[in-house]
Amino acid sequence: MLKVEILGTGCKKCQQLEANAKEAIAARNLEADIAHITDTMEIIKHGVMKTPALVVNGKVLSQGKVLEPKDIEPLLPA
C-alpha cells in the first residue's frame, strides 16, 4: 500500500493537491494511506521549504505547486 502525505498548513492549495492526489490514486486503482501533515516541524523534517508538497513512500515528489491528477499519476509506483 502506498503512503501518501500532503504537506502544508491546510490552505486552499494544499486541499487542492490532496484532492488531485486522491483522484490520481483512484484513476490508477491503487490503495493508499493518505495523510495531511500540517505541523511545521514535521514539514521541515522532510526538507520541504515550500508548500504544498507531495510525498509518496517517504520521497518528496513535488513542492511549492499544485500538481494536476494527470501529472501525479506517472509519479505513483505501479
Q: Which of 4, 7, 14, 37 is catalytic?
A: 14
Please confirm, yes or no, whether 14 is among the known catalytic residues: yes
Q: Which of 11, 26, 44, 49 is catalytic?
A: 11
Q: Rounded CA gap, 59 and 56, in Å?
A: 5
Measuring CA to CA, how many Å separate 49 from each of 2, 40, 41, 53, 66?
A: 23, 10, 11, 9, 15
Positions marked catalytic: 11, 14
